[in-house]
Amino acid sequence: MPMLAVGHRRTGACPTFDRPVQQRDGYLLRVPLVGGTVTPVQANAIAEVASTMGNGVVELTNRGNLQLRGLRPETLGPAQERLRSLGLGDPRAALVTISPFAGPVEHALRARVVDALGSIAGDASLSPKFVVHIDDARAATSSRRAEVTLRSTGDTWRVEIPLVGWCDVAADDAVSTVVALAEACRSFGHEARVGDVLDACGPGWLHAVLPVELGPTSSAAAATRTMPRPGDLLALAGGPAVVVAARFGRVDSEQLGSLAALGLDLTVTPWRSFLVPCPSDVEAPRPPVDRLARIGLIVDPADPAADVVTCIGAAGCWQTEADTLVEAERVVALRASGAAVAGPIKAGGESDTSTGTIHVTGCDKRCATRGPVATTFIGRTDGSGFDEVASRARATFT
């Protein structure tokens, strides 16, 4: 078996619930959610921990989890203890993500995968970025980056390992392939991922060690569902739900506490928004949009902040001096005034920043989104300004 000293592409330890990482604004505590869902009791506790032990900011991640910012060394342990007491912080929750559009079949497979991975999930030699993603039948989250993606094709499961191959197999084989892939990465090197294996020896070794025969090319499914917009009322397997966006993918502890007070299970989407269930005891489900708007959440797709995405930038990240939050506010204000957002002229034509998603990023790592972006403003890391750059095609691996 080849062995590799991996880590050559790492830019720093990846924060996890058990291993928070100190950022500029304090410790960052990632809270993985089982199936992307948080109960009212859990949401209330996260809000309380954020306000009393952190800096009050709770971010929605593009893995469908929550993360608390600004914790202090002395509050880290009590924060973890409090959240663990409510069933949060299970490393297996971070390892297996699932589409918010998934139904019972997908959730049943998710439970099987989690069980099968067992202690591998908590093993420090497995990269915290190793993710198994379970897509929905309409491939709404097919662009989700993962080491392996599973999607129901009816009687079988499509197993897709980007740049390695795919196959359609029974559920048992899909689960055993996931476990074999995790074991292969773990045995290949500390925190090795599929990309590390491919860099070192191409796909051949993985083809040899996996229990199924993989086709040689990608079968990445085209999404047959567009990204949900704020205010959309979705018919989900568990009942109707409304899409509610958080400004710049973050809420404060008061907003999260108000959401918890609705008494509903909330789902965090990979698009950094919430799915809020609608009351099912009325004939025509009417989402509580007025109440959600009063909380300060975005329920109108025409809201000028609805399509502005940003990372925390200099306010919390060591990698840059670019103040993305200020820049994002500038972008929102310009959009609200009806003006196009001023950016350098692109080669070959004028910028059109009046529509589409604008991504403001503090550096070229572009953490905030992997979704489609019309315009990207990338911060100069010395803090001297932002430049409009080409929105690159989605990469399969980081």
Give the range of 30-38, 40-48, 190-198, 365-373 binding ligand SF4 by CB under 6 A. 365-373
Q: Which C-beta is closer to ligand SF4: that of 42 or that of 376?
A: 376
Distance between CA atoms of residues 148 and 150, nearest Å:
7
Applying CB under 6 A, which of residues 29, 140, 363, 373 lies at the interface with ligand SF4?
363
Q: Which C-beta is closer to ligand SF4: that of 291 or that of 330?
A: 330
Least distance to ligand SF4 from the beta carbon of 294, Å?
30
Two tokens, residue 160: 């897709």
362 touches ligand SF4 (CB under 6 A): yes
Applying CB under 6 A, which of residues 129, 151, 193, 366 lies at the interface with ligand SF4?
366
Q: Which C-beta is closer to ligand SF4: that of 14 or that of 237?
A: 14
Contacts of residue 76, defined as CB under 8 A and 6 or more positions apart, other chains included, come to 20, 27, 29, 53
Place of tokens 């191409």: 202
Give the range of 57-65, 136-144, 150-158, 305-313 binding ligand SF4 by CB under 6 A. 305-313
Distances in whole angstroms, Cα of residue 1 to Cα of each of 176, 204, 209, 373 = 20, 12, 10, 41
306, 231 contact by CB (below 8 A): no
User: Site map for ligand SF4, 306-325, x if CB under 6 A?
Assistant: -----xxx---x-xx-----
160, 215 contact by CB (below 8 A): no
Distance from the first to the final alpha carbon of the chain: 24
Burial 202-239 (b: 16+ CB within 10 A, else e): ebebbeeebebebeeeeeebeeeeebbbbbbebebeee
365 touches ligand SF4 (CB under 6 A): yes
Say which DSSP state 185 is in.
H
Q: Which C-beta is closer to ligand SF4: that of 44 or that of 376?
A: 376
Least distance to ligand SF4 from the beta carbon of 166, Å?
30
Applying CB under 6 A, which of residues 361, 369, 375, 376 lies at the interface with ligand SF4?
361
Give how many residues touch ligand SF4 by CB under 6 A. 12
58, 252 contact by CB (below 8 A): yes
Least distance to ligand SF4 from the beta carbon of 17, Å?
19
What residue ranges bind ligand SF4 (CB under 6 A)? 311-313, 317, 319-320, 361-363, 365-367
